[in-house]
Amino acid sequence: MWLAPGSSKTWSSTRPDAVPASTSSSEPGWTPFAQRRPELGGRLRVFEIDQPGTRAWKRRRLTELGYPVPDWLRLVPVDFEAGQSWLDRLVAAGFDPGRRAVVASTGVSMYLAKGTTAATLRQIAGLAPGSTLAMTFLLPVELVDEADRRGLETSTRGARNSGTPIVSFYSPEEMLTMAREAGFAHVRHVPGTALADRYFTGRPDGLRPSSGEDFLVATT
């Protein structure tokens, strides 16, 4: 199983025999998974974690557009860097850590200190056996395709100037080591270029995402 960038697809969309008890998405932002795939979401209990302000805005905006939050979707506000426990907040919202789950964390690790990410990995590794994490991370600029380095540098400056600086970059080896040390039973690196080959090959317009953001897929 892996998630395509920005898609929030879980493995149950391709493996109907392997539906997890719940799926948790960290930093989903405006991703309308519940509205796009209600036939899938309705088979799960979905928890979306994001910053408090973003959670409140999304709930309000969905209501304004005529999309009430379904019973199986929980919007959970968490401020990681303020020391709030995302797991405690999830449990308070109805998450059962004793049942296997899929955790999708996309576009998060680059904004967190490495110690915060390591602590988060340890907590996820403690979930029920068979739980799966899919998490993106940014590569150091020297590991990014040369054609994409300028774009990464521009994005990094823009994030810093907007007040949400990118603070952490990882080589694939560093991320795999962190996941192993956190206690995951199986870890795998999925290059962003491999996902681009899978989902963008053959497009008549030649569209292809830039390199530089890869996936860690880890199982408890």
Phi then psi for residue 183, to 5 deg, are 115, 10
- Predicted confidence at residue 20, as pLDDT, reads 47
Out of 66-80, 105-119, 168-182, pick the least confident. Answer: 66-80
Lowest-pLDDT choice from 1-5, 69-73, 153-157: 1-5
Q: Is the pLDDT of residue 10 over 70?
A: no
What pLDDT band is residue 1 in, cutting at 50, 70 and 90?
very low
Q: Best-predicted range by mean pLDDT among 37-46, 74-83, 163-172?
A: 163-172
What is the dotted CATH code of the domain comprising 20-219? 3.40.50.150
pTM of the shown model: 0.80
How many Cα atoms are found within 13 Å in the side-chain-facing hemisphere of 64? 6
